[in-house]
Structure 1
Amino acid sequence: MQPLLSQTSIKQQVDELMSKMTLAQKIGQMTQAERLGCTPDDVRKYHLGSVLSGAGSLPENNNIESWLKITDSYWQASMVNDANHLAIPLLYGVDAIHGHNNLKGATIFPHNIGLGAANDTDLVARIAEVTRKEVLASGVDWVFAPNLAVAQNNQWGRCYESFAQTPQLINQYASEIINGLHGKLAGEGVIACVKHWVGDGATAHGIDQGDANITWLELNNTHISPYISALKAGAMTVMASFNSWNGNKCHGHKYLLTDVLKQQLNFSGFIVSDMNGIDYLCDDFYLSVAQGVNAGIDMFMLPENWLQFIQHLHNHVELGTVPMSRINDAVRRILLVKFASGLFDTPCPSERVWANHASFGAIEHRSVAREAVRKSLVLLKNKKNILPLKKQARILVTGKNADNIGHQCGGFTINWQGVSANDAFEGATSIWQGIAAVAPNAVLRRHDDVLAISAKEHDIAVVVIGEYPYAEGHGDIRDCENLIIEAGSQINGQVNISAPYGNSLALKKLHPEDYLLIKDISDKGIPLIVILISGRTLIINDELDKSAAFIAAWLPGSEGQGLSDMLFGEFNFQGKLSFSWPKTSSTEKKKAAAKPLFPMGYGLRYKIK
């Protein structure tokens, strides 16, 4: 399935290099540290195979020059060739899940849930190409994307990382994204890493890192399916998932990692753990190391305790609790990817073709993101065809998400949990800024100011409401803490649970200030256009009732003008829900099949006047 990895010449190069490697050098290749926890000297001394910048791990100034300085330093350390160290190029990895989202000035695309609503494979391919070029500009060669989760519960804090609740669209997207990220490789492509293997979107009650209590048939048909498409497209790295399957953690699941992925699916690339993923296999880290390696993980993402991992694994090999054959298999897979991707023939990051390229954050890239915003928007309501608006209308723009680029980008943007500001971005446009650029009579007001206005001052109001940024378990919705006890009691190993975002999917309960703002404007008799910024479908019955039009904007990213394009009829709506929209919030399975407020595939259009 990965033709590059099967080339005889590459296998011969790997065998020749491995014949020269010591045990320490092999274990080093299996180790990935975080840049804040290791130095370039550590890379050379311990022969580290990879370094990552985790979400929010930003160099000083957070610009292309500072990124290139960092990636150069680690690369050069890895390429020292002397009596103690073999020159083996380092893999530098980042989470680039909606553009190069760590780097200020990058083009930030809608999160996956919005791209699922767009239902456009050509668009997704072009997004992957832009992401590739902007990542390469900073000297990075490995991205932890795409996320192929098939989210089944909108209470999950990572729901926005999923394209759809069914696998068919994700299957199509997977191959397009892999091809777009890889490009030609050999210095002009980045290595994709599909994640998270497997079943992370199926956990009970949508609990992040929880237990997927599902049959093999459901796991295979729904959650493994997108990986088959990705592997056929040439995916060379796979990230293991934090979740468990029927009580057994994926990071220690030999059947899923080795028997299914490597043997049944003929995956010849390498598996990387998620961050500290083996830490939760058991209470003893020493035992967790052996369990993870023997289960089939090849490289270990360990931001802080990477040196302890190296020491423990060395001891396991000496004692025979981890066979040397498993070490050799892991290292061979890692080196196969490094040779096949052209890393051995690539210069240091700052000397590569795309380094500090002028296209980074440029208009041609932002135009793709703006198009993605337009195509991702779903029009849920348009009473009396109030949309599109006239540009000369007296428009009141308000709501906490109207002029906040951080909020419209969501989690995994600049920082792990996102940011709440405009000054963290360069070249980006808020929703308000997009409206103001084309509507001369539009005004932006805070909620307190809205109380003093009269209906005679405004023809219409655009109210931008919704969620604050969040990532992973911090975005979970849990209406009962007993769910944690119930879910955790079935899992073998430790359960890592974050404080949730809230206890209800009802927007009125999560953010009562939004409903009060809508009510205050509605009571004045001003028609409302409501724009919802969210990483999932929410209970919006009351807000919907008081609106004349309602738009699900998801987490649109850095190009707020995409909203104004649609509000004023420059383009028609084409987004369709890739998730059904619920009427009620419930964790009870018997209510899960209740008729939705809007079915999957729903989305209105209007006649452009």
Structure 2
Amino acid sequence: MAETNDLQEDINEEFILKLLHKMTRQEKLMQIGQVDKAYIKEKNDLATLGIGSVISGGSGQPFENSPAGFCEMIGDYQEAALRSRLKIPLLYGGDAVHGMSLSKETTLFPHNIGLGAANDPSLIEAIARATAIETSCTGVVWAFAPCVAVVRDCRWGRTYESFGEDADAVTANGVAHIKGLQDTAAQSWGVRIPGTVAACAKHYVGDGAVTFGTGQMGAKILDRGDVRLGEAEFEEQLRPYREAVKAGVMSIMVSFSSVQGKQMHAHRELIEGVLRQELGFQGLVVSDWAGHEQLRDGEGPVEKLALCINAGVDMIMIPEHYHAYQEHMQEALVGGLISPARLDEACARVLRLKHKLGLFSFQNAPIQDQNQALLAKVRCPAHLALARRAVQKSIVLLKNRACVLPLRKQTLRHLFVCGKGADDLGLTCGGWSTSWQGACGPITTGTTILSALREGLPDTQVTYDAAGEGFKPDQHQMVILVVAEDPPYAEWFGDRTDLYITAQEQLMVERVTNRGVPVIVVQLAGRPLLDCDNWARVDALLHAWLPGSEGGYGIVDILCGDACPDGKMPLGLPEDLDVPKASRCMFAKGRGMTYDDDVVQGKNVPQPFLQREDT
């Protein structure tokens, strides 16, 4: 068997080298460029320029933003690319970070931080398999996921993209995600395996460990800052990549951040030295969005491109000015700043990934025809059930005074619900949901907490007031108050100096607490949210993270006792954050409570029961 595999690899490599030999310098340099769909001026540019890769970024959706709409659009782009001289197919990528999150009408799973609270690699692998199916059917064959950052400061705006602060857990969950996306067992060189995509571990390396105050964007807090760790601590940041490489990850994205002042997009020692030589990575290294343009070194665009490529980056996410990129690359090659051998090496890696994904089979049949069966699986019952189970397992119960939870369905007649997040699907899903920053409102198909409560409690009168002004303590038996990070955010837009709820939410807490009625708080956030009195006045506190399109159902399952909370905090509060000891204890890493086993499988019981707490 080993001899057969070696022979097949020799045949595949011969195919790559023959194709590379036929390519002109112009074709090679455009093959290692990636353009955002929103900036393509003419579809025919894909053929005439030989563009190698296209990405749908935050605004790169089709006119009909649906899986079928994506499939039609990307199919048209592939047809254009196949009209190029050598008929080289496109490598189409996108940020499928918690499901096929670019598109509406897909299954959006909990963001990674919630899956880190569940800490169940088998569940994560199943989610990644479903994501691969719902992504690949659109024509996107390269998912920029998973983020394997080991987070040291949850004030960072990308915290929710990570699995947490424990390097071992991040590593195990990241490897599971990679295996699920790529379906490693099903891969076969040169043959398109339906329902599989290339994974991309990101952002190499240390993006979750930057020093507070060194950020380079917005208020310059954390995002794209500088990593200043000792050798042992830095090894923790590197560990997920060691195991990702062993697991066969096909690509790795470089971070915007710096390490000891050296920007990663120009860090040859860490890319070529550590990633390639020490870790043995043989796949594709891709830049982040216009990462070369942000380099502080280099006199101009030509030198910046050369620094990036010579550091070991194989594909440049341009993403906008691709005609200028073409000119700058030509100048760098003619001027000797980039060698022909380095261009060939990078181009070969791009072609190798396309061949390994079976993209050259697109010459035989349009992707619209190949993907029809997969399109029928989008938001299928199995995927929705999987998402709901993931929500249940990710929720962390942090407080449950007097066993106020689960709700007593049999005796609960009047329930008061408040907080904008209770009836806002966009806040339930968070950033990277149908767009880069996400948005408030009914952004896609899914279920809010309020609608799930009304469905799950048919015999209870559920009254909703977003601001909490309609609360009547002599009438309502229970309050569910939802606090959320509003608006949704992504990247540096989410960097914060503190973690307190807003003044409006604080006022809402004051309106409903200390009125003789139990108050249950549900947090929709990518990190802990603090209250001015450390949540002392509320009776129960659930952290539901950013649970996705099925978040309403999963949260209500926990509230009603149809499932038991089992999540544990995957991270704690930053050491340098000035907060009371009570808050630090409540949100300590590893903290999480559960119910008595009698409430599992919907056996909701009205009397108080024992509970245990693991810390």
Q: What TM-score comes out, normalization by structure 1 length?
A: 0.90
The residue number in structure 1 matching 2:313 is 297
Amino acid at match of 1:9: I
User: Are 2:218 and 1:215 aligned?
Assistant: no
The whole-number CA distance in structure 1 between the counterparts of 2:524 and 2:207 is 24
The residue number in structure 2 matching 1:585 is 577
The within-5 A match list for 1:212-361 is 212-219=227-234, 221-282=235-296, 284-346=300-362, 347-353=365-371, 357-361=375-379
User: Are 2:524 and 1:533 aligned?
Assistant: yes
CA contact 1:350–1:356 (8 Å) conserved in 2: no
How far 1:348 sits from its partner (Å)?
Answer: 2.8
Amino acid at match of 2:239: S
Q: 1:570 to 1:373 in 2, by over 3 A?
A: same
- The one of 192, 195, 219 aligned to 2:199: 192
- The one of 9, 23, 37 aligned to 2:39: 37
The within-5 A match list for 1:9-24 is 9-24=11-26
Offset from partner CA, 1:442-491 (integer Å, 9 cap, x none): 4232245x43442121110011112121100000013xxxxxxxxxxxxx
CA contact 2:428–2:546 (8 Å) conserved in 1: yes
Q: 1:348 to 1:5 in 2, by over 3 A?
A: farther
SS at match of 2:432: coil
CA contact 1:54–1:94 (8 Å) conserved in 2: yes
The whole-number CA distance in structure 2 between the counterparts of 1:293 and 1:175 is 27
CA contact 1:518–1:543 (8 Å) conserved in 2: no
- The one of 476, 479, 482 aligned to 1:464: 482
RMSD of equivalent CA atoms: 2.1
Q: 1:61 to 1:595 in 2, by over 3 A?
A: closer
CA contact 1:401–1:465 (8 Å) conserved in 2: yes
Give unpaired runs (5+ residues) of structure 2. Answer: 213-220, 600-604, 606-615
SS at match of 2:149: coil
Amino acid at match of 1:370: R
CA contact 2:153–2:573 (8 Å) conserved in 1: no
Amino acid at match of 1:99: G
Instruction: Provide runs of 4+ in structure 1 moved above 6 Å.
Output: 3-6
SS at match of 2:423: coil
Q: Which moved more, 1:49-58 or 1:143-152?
A: 49-58
Number of equivalent positions: 568
Q: 1:451 to 1:333 in 2, by over 3 A?
A: closer
CA contact 2:506–2:531 (8 Å) conserved in 1: no
Amino acid at match of 1:600: K
CA contact 2:227–2:260 (8 Å) conserved in 1: yes
How far 1:353 sits from its partner (Å)?
Answer: 4.2
SS at match of 1:176: helix
User: Are 2:542 and 1:551 aligned?
Assistant: yes
Q: 1:386 to 1:582 in 2, by over 3 A?
A: farther
Q: Which moved more, 1:178-187 or 1:439-448?
A: 439-448
The whole-number CA distance in structure 2 between the counterparts of 1:271 and 1:404 is 38
The whole-number CA distance in structure 2 between the counterparts of 1:124 and 1:137 is 20
SS at match of 2:140: coil
Offset from partner CA, 1:188-227 (integer Å, 9 cap, x none): 21111111111100111161011111134322x2111101
SS at match of 1:381: strand
SS at match of 1:326: helix
The whole-number CA distance in structure 2 between the counterparts of 1:315 and 1:465 is 54
Give unpaired runs (5+ residues) of structure 1. Answer: 479-503
User: Are 2:78 and 1:75 aligned?
Assistant: yes
The residue number in structure 2 matching 1:494 is none
CA contact 1:458–1:526 (8 Å) conserved in 2: yes
User: Are 2:453 and 1:438 aligned?
Assistant: no
Q: 1:413 to 1:400 in 2, by over 3 A?
A: same
CA contact 2:67–2:106 (8 Å) conserved in 1: no
CA contact 2:424–2:440 (8 Å) conserved in 1: yes
Q: 1:454 to 1:217 in 2, by over 3 A?
A: closer
The whole-number CA distance in structure 2 between the counterparts of 1:536 and 1:253 is 31
The whole-number CA distance in structure 2 between the counterparts of 1:553 and 1:391 is 21
SS at match of 1:437: helix
The residue number in structure 2 matching 1:49 is 52
